[in-house]
Copies of this chain bind each other. A is one copy, B any other.
Amino acid sequence: MSDTKEMLETVRAPASLPMAEVATAIDACLRCVQTCTTCANADLAEEAVDELRRCAAWCVTCADVCDVTARLLSRPAYSDQLTIHHVLQACVRACENSAEECARHAQHHRHCAICEGVCRACVEACAALLDAQTIDGLEDLAGG
């Protein structure tokens, strides 16, 4: 159990998004930073590095995008829903890319198998937030 949800609830700010789902997305993003960073590093050390170039490149980028997503979601005060919206979309896309590329190598490389799963969990958590934005925050977004 992480402290993420409890931390978010200490912030004096109007809740723009359901905090339980934000906490889930933050934790999924941080896991993805870790896993993608290690997967890219592991790719470079494999004999078959030639076949793992795209995996290394996309995992490095996925880690960077998940990192900024976790940071923005961790700031409920003075948050801007439209910035978060675009970052969540980037995060879903980057995680999908990594998941799909990792899936192609999952049978031969354990790091890719684990990484695929972590990326897919992150897609799910960020997509859930995007859905929540569409329903609850539509006016904010339109007003932005």
- The interface of chain A, by Cβ under 8 A from chain B, is 2-4, 6-8, 10-13, 26-27, 30-31, 33-35, 37-42, 44-46, 49-50, 53-54, 56-58, 60-61, 63-65, 67-68, 70-72, 74-78, 80, 82-83, 86-87, 89-90, 93-94, 97, 109-111, 114-115, 118, 144
Copies of this subunit: 4
Given that A42-B11, A57-B75 are contacting pairs, would A93 and B97 also be in contact in the complex, using a CB cutoff of 8 Å?
Answer: no
Given that A61-B72, A97-B80 are contacting pairs, would A42 and B111 also be in contact in the complex, using a CB cutoff of 8 Å?
Answer: no
Given that A3-B118, A50-B49, A111-B10 are contacting pairs, would A41 and B87 also be in contact in the complex, using a CB cutoff of 8 Å?
Answer: no
- Measured between beta carbons, the chain B residues less than 8 angstroms from A45 are 11-13, 53, 77-78
Given that A50-B50, A68-B65, A83-B90 are contacting pairs, would A38 and B11 also be in contact in the complex, using a CB cutoff of 8 Å?
Answer: yes
